[in-house]
Amino acid sequence: MRLQDKVAVVTGAARGIGRAIALRFAREGARVAVVDVRETEGHETVRLIEQMGGEALFVYTDVSDAAQVEAMVEAVLERWGTIHILVNDAGICPFEEFLSMPESLWDRVLDVNLKGYFLVSQAVARVMVEQGVKGRIIAVSSISSEFGGSQQAHYCASKAGINLLIKSMAISLGPHGITCNAVLPGTVETDINREALADPAVRAYWSQRAPLGRLGRPEDIAGPVLFFASDDSAWCTGSMLVVDGGTSVNLQ
């Protein structure tokens, strides 16, 4: 098992990609803090982990709220005493055209997607540095960090910000032995885009755009995240790993 006895915090782990990461980590021997604002689904992730003989803890946390983030870190430390791995995954993407986008929506997306990654990373990294833990911090970014998208100006800007946040953290935390890397998924079928993908034309476009010929599944992202969480990536930091079935290299 590649994460035996490690303690991992996974934000956004109530469902979708975050849940797949939490389950994969648990299968690899990690104890997992499931951090999310969705209580029912969050407890379900914990139940699924316990069902497979693993250990997990749900901690209700809005990642955009500094006080809640501090309380989450305290709760994890109280339970397991340390944190070895952090995966920032919690995100939102409420589609809206640029011209009609209200300031409040812009603020909310940047608060959750970008400030949330900053707040959780800083709080966890402080513990790692204090304890001398040579930790692993991973961000679930997006190929939308490199390309614009209709109805996604706020989301694309937040994801581009995440990439440079991670690169900057890599510089600051490298001397402490902490690695910081990002995974950039293409279109993965989850609740975040279920409505958009219900349109057969949209679905066909994204499936065909990927040379591998299909949409992504949450499990497709969990493996690459596990790579950055494990010792196999010991000399990787500031890396941006695109995981998109080839979508972004296909100009057709």
Q: What span, in angstroms and rounded, lies between the C-alpha atoms of 154 and 191?
A: 19
Q: What is d(CA 12, CA 118) in angstroms, rounded to the nearest whole number? A: 15
Give the shortest CB-4-to-ligand NAD separation in angstroms. Answer: 26
185 belongs to the binding site for ligand NAD (CB under 6 A): yes
Helices 16-27, 39-51: crossing angle, 10 deg rounding: 20
188 is a site residue for ligand NAD (CB under 6 A):
yes
Task: For residue 159, indicate whether it is catalytic.
Answer: yes
Please tell me which residue in 64, 121, 141, 142 is annotated as part of the active site: 142
Binding of ligand NAD at residue 90 (CB under 6 A)? yes
Instruction: Identify which range of 61-69, 79-87, 125-133, 222-230 contacts ligand NAD by CB under 6 A.
Output: 61-69
The nearest distance, CB 114 to ligand NAD, in angstroms, is 11
Stretch touching ligand NAD by CB under 6 A, among 26-34, 57-65, 76-84, 167-175: 57-65
Return phi, psi of residue 10, to 5°.
Answer: -125, 115
Active site residue 144: no
Site string for ligand NAD, 148-177 (x = CB under 6 A): ------------------------------
* Segment contacting ligand NAD by CB under 6 A, of 23-31, 62-70, 164-172, 222-230: 62-70
Task: Give residue 135's identity as a one-letter amino acid code.
Answer: G
117 in active site: no
Interacting residues with ligand NAD (CB under 6 A): 11-12, 14-18, 36-38, 61-64, 89-93, 112, 116, 140, 142, 185, 187-188, 190-193
